[in-house]
Structure 1
Amino acid sequence: MNVNLDAAYWVGLLISVVLPVLVGLVTTRVTNAGLKATLLLGLSVLNGFLVEAFQTPHDAGYSIGTAAVLALVSFATGVLAHFGFWKPVGVSAKAQDSFIKAA
């Protein structure tokens, strides 16, 4: 068995790990968790559909099914990265305190 992934998939996976920090930069600590999750989901969907658009073998065509799976993987990776890495090391809290301040 040989697994060979395009560079676009690896870049998309890396972006998925960073997305929770981006959500933290544009929200505050008092922002509703549902809104944060919705924002992460929207960015994950955008990531999944862009990764599928930039895949190397363009002759295979654009697959909405693959883009949807990539979006779900991106969202799951973002949630896991947030709760498994960014939040325990304090990056999430620092990101939320950096740009936008609560009223």
Structure 2
Amino acid sequence: MQPSLDNAYWLGLLISVVLPVLVGLVTTRVTSASVKAVLLLALTAATGFFTELAGPHGDNYSVGSAVILWAVSFGVGVLSHFGLWKPTGVSVKAQDVGARSSS
């Protein structure tokens, strides 16, 4: 029997990759990096705990597993920001959405 990940875990991983762009959409360029990091931390916490809730365990919700999923989600979010979204310019474009020109 091969080990496999439930669809909830794959969805949580996908959400973790997209969360840095979401943080960029709801913040501005002048928002401090620490505020953005705390926002990403909060969103990945929600992702980790909801992923565990949606997981295949039924009534056996595990806070320990949720914390591990939170850590993995935050790590994936940070890595995808610096490894994918920032080098391709998506982060800057996300923060430009809704920005007003000074003229």
* TM-score in same-fold range (> 0.5): yes
**What is the TM-score normalised by the length of structure 2?**
0.93
Displacement of 1:100 after TM fit?
4.9
SS of the residue aligned with 1:41?
A: helix
C-alpha distance 86-57 of structure 1, shift in aligned 2 (>3 A): same
Which letter does structure 2 place at the counterpart of 1:53? L
Find the counterpart in structure 2 of residue 68 from structure 1.
67
% identical equivalent positions: 60
| Count of residue correspondences | 102
Partner of 2:43: 43
Normalised to the residue count of structure 1, the TM-score between the two structures is: 0.93
- Which amino acid in the other structure matches residue 77 of structure 1? V
Q: Which runs of 5+ in 1 are unaligned?
A: none
The 3 A distance-change label for structure 1 pair 39 and 101 is farther
Relative distance call for 1:102 and 1:3 in structure 2 (3 A) is farther
CA RMSD of aligned residues (A): 1.8
1:30-57 deviation line (CA, Å, top 9, x unaligned): 1000000000000000000000000123
Residue 5 of structure 2 is matched in structure 1 by: 5
Alignment of 1:1-103 (within 5 A): 2-59=2-59, 61-101=60-100
